[in-house]
Amino acid sequence: MASKQFEKRGDGLLVRAPGKINLSLLVKGKRPDGYHELETIMAKIDWYDEILIEKLNEKVKRNPRLLHAGTGKEKGKSKEKPDIELICKGPYKVPEGKDNLVYKAAKLILDSAGQAPPYNSTGWKPVPRIRITLTKNIPAGTGLGAGSSDAAGTLMGINRFLKLGLSKKKLMELAAKLGSDVAFFLGGPLAMCTGRGEKVKKIDKCEFGVLLIVPNVNVSTQRVYANYRHNSAKYERLHKEINGHIKKKRIDLVCELCANMLQESCFELNTKLRELKKRIERAGIRPLCLSGSGSAMYCIIDKSNEEKIVTYKNKLAREFGCKSIILNNNSW
């Protein structure tokens, strides 16, 4: 049975935040604002971080006119307890402080709710203190979008859990302040994302299985983009081919292209990753595609041949020391 995104857990709400893979990733060019203009088809996969949202006993009275910017504290009230308690656990470590995207998303939506009417008679709007427990199952720096998904899950989860009533449009506005990929995770499960990645156009869902390979390598997205050299002819060729497949609703043919214009930049910075991809493909696992800016790679598979897939999975562990997981497209 497929997992649900939201699930009551005691007095709290459990939110599942899925990873994603890029079925294609084209770079149209560099924008005047310094960002790169993208065209990418992103698909959610059924591998999840988990976010548990719970109320703490005390409420924080938030007067938006008296809040210190970025602190959540009133002027002259520096000893007040923070309104967000973040706990991180799981196999992969992430910072628990204010730099965590989950914390940033929680603070952003609570501040937004605190600035929205109605206030009570004194101009205060009480907002519960909350504890968020993030269980990190998906590693960062792998091109699987887990941080962005965690942020989106936090926005949706707090909105639902505290019954804030913020619209999808408002959540999208908040998502844009957190990161380029966050908006995709508010919808999906399959979409064409353009601009910096924040413009999302839903595509009809398609079913697929994937053998996901997660090397023990963290890739800096910022460095990959900084190292990228644009090839306009390659963009035009792939743009035409991919859009032709989309019009025919042949996402399977898009997958076969393994079109990722960030791949060369990633492999220039991570030569061992390039060599690993070549070795795995020589072992018969192909075509092998890079997700996002890396380091995770995947191969679309036919799950009817499970015995062969398990053989490949065992080979990856034995010969290459690689973690691999058999996954499906996510249903929501």
Please give the positions annotated as active site. Answer: 20, 181
Distances (CA, A) of 104 to 98, 150, 253: 6, 11, 38
Residue 140 backbone phi and psi in degrees, to 5: -80, 165
HSE-up of residue 172 (Cα within 13 Å, Cβ side): 9
Contact 297, 213 (CB under 8 A): yes
CA pair distance 302, 189, nearest whole angstrom: 20
Distances (CA, A) of 304 to 188, 210, 244, 311: 26, 12, 28, 14
Q: What is the full DSSP assignment across 175-211? A: HHHH-TTTGGGGS-SEEEEEETTTEEEE------EEE
Distances (CA, A) of 238 to 222, 226, 235, 245: 24, 22, 5, 11
CA 81 to chain centre: 30
Phi/psi-derived region of residue 111, left when phi > 0, alpha when psi is between -120 and 50, beta in every other case: alpha
CA pair distance 317, 130, nearest whole angstrom: 41
**In 3D, which of 133, 116, 136, 135 has the Cα closest to residue 124?**
116
